[in-house]
Amino acid sequence: MKRTTIAYFIFVLVMGFSPLEAEEESTLFIAFAMTKAQEASSIPTDSGIYLRSEKDNSWHRIGPVIQSMNSLAVDPSAPATIFMACGNGIVRSKDGGETWRMVTGWRESDFLKIAIDPENGDNIYGTSVWGFHLSRDGGESWTSANKGLNEKYCRTIIVDHRNQRRLVLGTGDGIYESRNGGESWTRVRSSPESAILRMDRSLNNPDLWIAGSEGEGVYLSANDGKSWRPVAETLSEANVYGVSLHPENENRMAAGGWSEGLWVSNDGGDSWEDRSSGLPSQNVTAVVFDENHPDRLWVSTFEEGTYYTDDDGKTWKDGDLYGAYVFDLDFVTSAKE
Amino acid sequence: MISPYRLLHFTRCLAVAAILVGSSVNGDDSPPVAEISEADLVHQYRERCDYVIDQTVANTDPNDLTRGSNFTIAANLFRGANLDWARERLRLSNDPPTGAMFWMHPMALLMHVGREELNEDDWAFIRELWRTYFPYRGDTENHWVMYYVSLYLVAEMFPDAGPEAWYNGKSSVEIMADAKEFILDWMRITTSYGQGEYDSPNYIEEYTRPMALLVGWARDPELQQMGKMMMDYILLDYAVENLGGLYGGAHSRLYPRYLLQPGMAHSAAHAWLLWGQGEFSSNGGTLMIAMSGYTPPSILFRIASDRDKAYVHKELKRTRWRFRHAGPNAFEVDGKSTIPVYKYSYVHPDFILGSSQGGLLQPIQQQTWSLVWREENLEGKSNTMFGLQPYSSPIEGTMFFNSDWDTVTDLIARSKVDYDSPDKLEGGSPYEQVFQHEATLIALYNIPEGTRFPLISTLFSRDVNRRVEDESGWIFGQGGPVYIAYRPFAPGEWKPVDWTGLLKGGAGAWFSTGFKELSEGSECLVSYSLKNGYIVEIAPVSAYETYRDFQEAVRALPVEVRLEPTPRVRYTNLDGVKLEAEYGRTPSVDGENVDYSSWKLFDGPFAQAERESQSLEMIYGSERYVLDFKNRSAETSVVESE
């Protein structure tokens, strides 16, 4: 891991504040805790959020060092505004990472994922172990909004970019939908009944969604999340921590789970093949297709490193971070350098 | 030549020794608890406070810059001693800072007690730490209390500081407002629904430390007053289940060494400082109290010390917040899920037998029931008995922790190394139900097939002497001044308490240190029957002429046990009370079901508090001391004799 100044990433992230005026670029981030060397202690030896530089193919820390950092989000309409989902709460930078401020109070903590309204950066949504939280003022103040939820444990969320009032939430007992910007929730009937660990939506075909669950494997929706069906029978009882849809080819998708390694489908989820023979561990905690290199697929294994393949899993290249327990591996969009 | 400081220290030690010898509350010559004057109590307490501080300073080697915590630095600053060492050690031991709230609170202490001694460079160094080190707020109640109290108190020192001064980008005004709100909310919830991390002989000091900080150094009069009241509240919670420094009853959290030797727990150090019981031991919590200027109300001393009569004391607590798998008994407090914990303790002059209802009440370190008995000298004594079903599961892990199903057990065991072991001595189980009436305890187990560790285990420590496995099915023993009768419902085998094969090389070093000395000679009765249970019957030795008489009396008691389809027992105890318990059903006493719905926050001769009352009444004789958290008031009164 190389250490460079945050200013480098400030440059990357801040160049051109309006996505309408500047060409967009996606940046891979990773949120993790170094747990492998954690012995006789409840504290990981390191933790943080890092960005992957295309220039030197290495990871660079962004933001403060805090134990329990789970995810990152960048305001698409103001790329210098960055949010971190942390155990302490939500930490925000409005200057591309130069300064940071905890924008939540003691009532809001243990955040797992943040989503931002792509049209209105005042609407920020956060999932946490305590429930769903929303802000209508760009993160300055927060409110719990759990009306309709059976379980408050909320793991992941996606804002529908075609209808920003529509939010899709992965909770402790399945997928919920809000049509009013998170004010209330309705459970999606065909959703898995167990915890939703990860969701993704196709960039190419917005009607296509995928979800990984705790104990019920992989679910797919081809009608914009209205109904879901189980796929990947081999993984039907697995805890699936990573799912991803190919950014250009809607027939291509990947899923990874505990003890299950990585599985890929190239026919829209009808058939799945194990692509993990070259990985050092079958315990997969994160999976994502590379938005900048669509044939590239990233996989994080539990404490055995993060890897990527450019040849559909025939060979795997070391993406570093040996010893890490990766909580999130995903892309944030910023203006291009 | 003896330095003036050392001379002063020596004089104080003599004074404390004289006080301890002259007024031992448990000694034969000591005056009745009610007759010791408040002035004497305060005087003796103040001497002990000085002793705690002086001991810490005396144990400082000013030539050794490699040793000395922020507590030690604080004690030296407090006394104005070893200042060059303190200044240098401050820089060495805090570069970089680690430990989050465990760094924050002694640093806050150090800053306050060192106001007069720290120079401009020292302050610049300390301010930079608070600007750059971003501590984690933690994942449990004691973490949060320490975090927000510390943060409040350091921000209060620099009330005009802007967001650039602090790691979290908030101004002092914002920090204080947020932290104060948390602190008052925590007090509201605790005095309404009970503590989540209740009655821990270990973690009591993680609450007394921040309360001491508030008492000693909060400028905000409301927080200082509430801190003092909350300190009284926490100590009362301990005092009513205290036996000469032993914290009896059911506990939320206990480490193995304190399970095996209750006299080693941090609560014992508190009993010495606060009530003059047991022996002095060095402890961060007592050091902080000693420096804070906190003075416990004399009624606490009297409640903690008067053990002339046996009594039943009940408490309502709650579990730690449950993120997931909250279960059908869950209720919400401000949107957070928990379930009630019904505590029952029988406090006898010679012993405390105490229990909770069983189930998963607290992650990892729960002690569902325990027996402790009085010993003259607690050193090396394993004067305890308890039982458990050693349960570990991702259900428990994900219920209480933000972690994944597949990693949570492993990650827990990185620090609590015995968590995933069948040999462990602590932890709750969803397959355990416990019921107690005075000196009788009944535990029932209904363990499903496929459970990770399908067994139950009961400790018979090396200090349970004269053990007899009787043909009647009872096992008899004697622990100090008490006779023990234990009636297992299924056969078991004796296994030594031995962690040799459990501890990984290097891992859990603190857990394993001295374990041979702690455990040698102690055994567990381990039973592998899935439908299981036992009766524990305790009696004071003084109640029987001979050990044989006790055994004969117990043998004659009617016991009817059925294990299928679910364990059930009908039993008449030594007092002739008919007890009936069946797994999954409400137990009964003389045919009347136990009414858990009426359980109060505190319910005993020394303390009364209703649910959601935000108040507590301490009772001793005609004296009443009422903590009213709604009105932020504490009031002593004397009631007319009835």
Q: Which pLDDT score is estimated for A80?
A: 94
Q: What is the pLDDT of residues A72-108, one digit of tens each?
A: 999 998 999 999 999 999 999 999 999 999 999 999 9
Bridge partner list, B170: none
Q: CB neighbours of A202 closer than 8 A, spacing ≥ 6? A: A208, A209, A245, A246, A247, A250
pLDDT in tens, B279-325: 999 899 999 999 999 999 999 999 999 999 999 999 999 999 999 99
State the CB neighbour count (10 A cutoff) for residue B452.
11
Contact present, B432 and B360 (Cβ < 8 Å) = no
Q: Is the pLDDT of residue B26 over 70?
A: no
A129 part of contact set with chain B, CB < 8 Å = yes
Q: Where are the domains of chain B?
A: 309-604, 608-638
Partner-chain contact A195 B169, CB within 8 Å: no
Nearest Cα neighbor of B71 from B60, B63, B61, B62 is B60
Q: Rounded to whole angstroms, what are the CA distances from A177 to A158, A159, A171, A218, B342?
A: 10, 10, 10, 18, 39
Which of the residues A68, A71, A88 would you substitute to probe the B interface, choosing the one with the greatest number of B C-beta atoms within 10 Å?
A88
What ipTM score was computed for the predicted complex, to two decimals? 0.93
Q: Which of A292, A337, A335 is nearest to A22 (CA)?
A: A335
Q: Which residues pair with B625 in a beta bridge?
A: B618, B636
**R_g (Cα) of chain A, nearest Å:** 18
Enclosing H/E stretch for B108: helix B101-113
Size of interface A-B (CB pairs under 8 A): 100
Give A134's strand partners. Answer: A125, A143
Give yes or no for a cis peptide into B565 (omega within 30° of 0).
Answer: yes
**Mean pLDDT, rounded, of chain B:** 93
Yes or no: say if A122 and A136 are a contact pair by the CB < 8 Å rule. yes
Summarize the confidence of residues A234-246 as an average pLDDT.
98
Q: Which one of B321, B324, B510 would you mutate to disrupt binding with A, by most A Cβ within 10 Å of its Cβ?
A: B324
Instruction: Flag if A35 and B324 touch (Cβ within 8 Å).
Output: no
Q: Give the helix/strand (H/E) hosting B311.
A: strand B311-318
- Record the tokens describing residue B614, joined without a space: 């935000």
Whether residue B179 lies within 8 A of chain A, CB to CB, comes out as: yes
Mean pLDDT of B94-100: 95
Residues 6+ apart with CB under 8 A from A267: A251
* CA B134/CA B196 separation, integer angstroms: 26
Q: Please report the pLDDT score of residue B503 as a whole number.
A: 57
Which residues of chain A have a CB within 8 Å of the CB of B507? 39-40
User: Residue for token digits 């981030």?
Assistant: A29
Chain B residues within an 8 Å CB radius of A110: 139, 402
Taking an 8 Å cut-off on Cβ atoms, the answer to whether A172 and B404 are in contact is no
**A23-to-A54, A74, B355 alpha-carbon distances in Å:** 16, 16, 66
pLDDT in the model for residue A291: 95
pLDDT for position B23: 40
Residue B639's pLDDT is 93
**Cα-based angle A43, A49, A53 (whole degrees, multiple of 5):** 140
Written as one letter, the residue type at B294 is: Y
Provide the pairing of β-strand B623-628 with B615-620.
antiparallel
Site from B405, B412, B504 to mutate, A interface, most A CB atoms within 10 angstroms: B405
Query: Could you tell me where the DSSP H helices lie in B133-204?
Result: 141-157, 172-193
Please give the order of strands across the beta sheet that includes A124-128.
A111-116, A124-128, A131-135, A143-144
Supply the pLDDT for residue B20.
Answer: 45
In this complex, which of B100, B170, B335 lies closest to A67 when CB atoms are compared? B100
pLDDT, average across residues B350-371: 97
Tokens representing residue B227 in the block: 């801190």
Q: H-helix or E-strand containing B51? A: helix B38-58
Q: At B142, which amino acid appears?
A: N
Phi-psi region of A182 (alpha: psi -120 to 50; beta: other; left: phi over 0): left
Cβ-Cβ contacts under 8 Å, A105 against chain B = 178, 181
What is the least distance, in Å, from the CA of B324 to any CA of chain A? 7
Q: What is the predicted pLDDT for the residue at B103? A: 98
Mean pLDDT across B555-580: 98
Residue A17, pLDDT score: 38
Q: Above 80 in pLDDT, residue B28?
A: no
Residue A256 reports pLDDT greater than 60: yes
More confident residue, A273 or A11: A273
Say what the pLDDT of residue B510 is.
62
Per-residue pLDDT of B241-258, as tens digits, reads 999 999 999 999 999 989
Number of residues in chain A: 337
What string of H, E and C letters represents the secondary structure of chain A? CCCCCHHHHHHHHHCCCCCCCCCEEEEEEEEEEECCCCCCCCCCCEEEEEEEECCCCEEEEECCCCCCEEEEEECCCCCCCEEEEECCCEEEECCCCCCCEECCCCCCCCEEEEEECCCCCCCEEEEECCEEEEECCCCCCCEECCCCCCCCCEEEEEECCCCCCCEEEEECCEEEEECCCCCCCEECCCCCCCCEEEEEECCCCCCCEEEEEECCCEEEECCCCCCCEEECHHHCCCEEEEEEECCCCCCCEEEEECCCEEEEECCCCCCCEECCCCCCCCCEEEEEECCCCCCCEEEEECCCEEEEECCCCCCCEECCCCCEEEEEEEEEEEECC
Q: Contact A126/A133 with Cβ under 8 angstroms?
A: yes
The beta-carbon neighbor of B148 closest among A99, A101, A106 is A106
B241 close to B199: Cβ distance less than 8 angstroms? yes
What are the structural domains of chain A?
6-335 (2.130.10.10)
In this predicted structure, the answer to whether residue B642 has a pLDDT above a threshold of 80 is no
Look at residue B27 in the predicted model and tell me its pLDDT.
43
**B284's tokens:** 């961060």
Which positions 50-89 of A are in contact with B (Cβ < 8 Å)?
A: 64-68, 87-89
Where residue B509 falls among pLDDT bands split at 50, 70, 90? low
Q: Which helix (H) or strand (E) holds B270?
A: helix B266-275
- C-alpha span between A70 and A113 (Å, rounded): 7
pLDDT, average across residues B264-276: 97
User: Which pLDDT value is given to residue A157?
Assistant: 98
Q: What are the pLDDT digits (tens) for B530-557?
A: 999 999 999 999 999 999 999 999 999 9
d(CA B63, CA A331): 54
pLDDT tens, residue by residue, B371-413? 999 999 999 999 999 999 999 999 999 999 999 999 999 999 8
- Which tokens in the block code for residue A19? 């996505």
pLDDT of residue B29: 58
**Is 90 exceeded by the pLDDT of residue A247?**
yes
Which helix (H) or strand (E) segment is B131 a member of?
helix B120-132
Q: Residue B8 pLDDT more than 70? A: no
Residue B217 sits at the vertex; the CA angle it makes with B215 and B221, to the nearest 5 degrees, is: 65
Mean pLDDT of A27-52: 91
| Range B496-500 average pLDDT | 79
C-alpha to C-alpha distance for B533 and B561, rounded to whole angstroms: 9
CA distance B147 to B249: 28
pLDDT at B516: 81
The CA distance from B228 to B207, in Å, is 12
Q: Is the pLDDT of residue B25 over 50?
A: no
Task: Name the DSSP class of B541.
Answer: G
Pick A333 or A21 by higher pLDDT.
A333
Q: Pick from B136, B157, B161, B133: which is nearest to B148 by CA?
A: B136
Based on C-alpha coordinates, what's the Rg of chain B? 25
The mean pLDDT value for B476-503 works out to 90
Question: In B, which residues are within 8 Å of A153 by CB distance?
Answer: 323-324
Instruction: Give φ, ψ of A322 to 5 degrees.
Output: -60, 135
Contact B323 A152 (CB under 8 A): yes
Q: The tokens of B174 are what?
A: 């914002």
How would DSSP label each residue in B392-404?
Answer: --HHHHHHHSS--
Nearest-Cα distance to chain A for B364, in Å, is 13
pLDDT at A335 over 60: no
Read off the tokens for B132. Answer: 């750059």
Nearest CA in chain B to A88: B137
Identify the pLDDT of residue B202: 94
**pLDDT score for B414:** 86
* Cα-to-chain-centroid distance, residue B264: 12
List the structure tokens of A68: 């329990």
pLDDT score at B512? 67
Q: Does the CB of B328 have a partner CB in chain A at under 8 Å?
A: no
pLDDT of residue B498: 78
**Would you state the structure tokens that stand for residue A102, as one six-digit string?**
């905890």
Query: What pLDDT digit, counting tens, does each position of A195-231 carry?
Result: 999 999 999 999 999 999 999 999 999 999 999 999 9
Closest listed residue to residue B193, CA positions, set B612, B598, B604: B612
What is the pLDDT, as a whole number, of residue B508?
53
Unique residue bearing structure tokens 């002593």? B636
Q: Give B203-236 as a DSSP string.
A: TTHHHHHHHHHHHHH--SHHHHHHHHHHHHHHHH
Which residues are bridge partners to B340 per DSSP? B318
Contacts of A87 in chain B (CB under 8 A): 136-139, 402
Q: What mean pLDDT comes out for the span A286-303?
A: 97
Pairing relationship of beta strands B340-347 and A154-159 according to DSSP bridges:
unpaired
DSSP per-residue letters across B424-482: -S----TTEEEEEETTEEEEEEEPPTT-SS--EEEEE-TT-EEEEE-TTS-EEEEETTE
Among A6, A43, A102, the residue to mutate for chain B (most B Cβ within 10 A): A102
φ and ψ at B370, to 5 degrees? -155, 155
Res B1 pLDDT > 60: no
A246 confidence band (pLDDT: 50, 70, 90): very high
Mean pLDDT of B169-173: 98
Q: Which of residues 158-177 of A touch B (CB under 8 A)?
A: 172
* Model confidence at A22: pLDDT above 90: no
Span B36-58, average pLDDT:
97
Residue B13 pLDDT > 70: no
3-class DSSP string for B252-268: CCCCHHHHHCHHHCHHH
What is the pLDDT, as a whole number, of residue B435? 97
Confidence grade of residue B6 (pLDDT, cut at 50, 70, 90):
very low
Report yes or no: B498 at the A interface, CB cutoff 8 Å: no
Between A19 and B473, residue with greater pLDDT: B473
**In chain B, pLDDT over 70 holds for what percent of residues?**
93
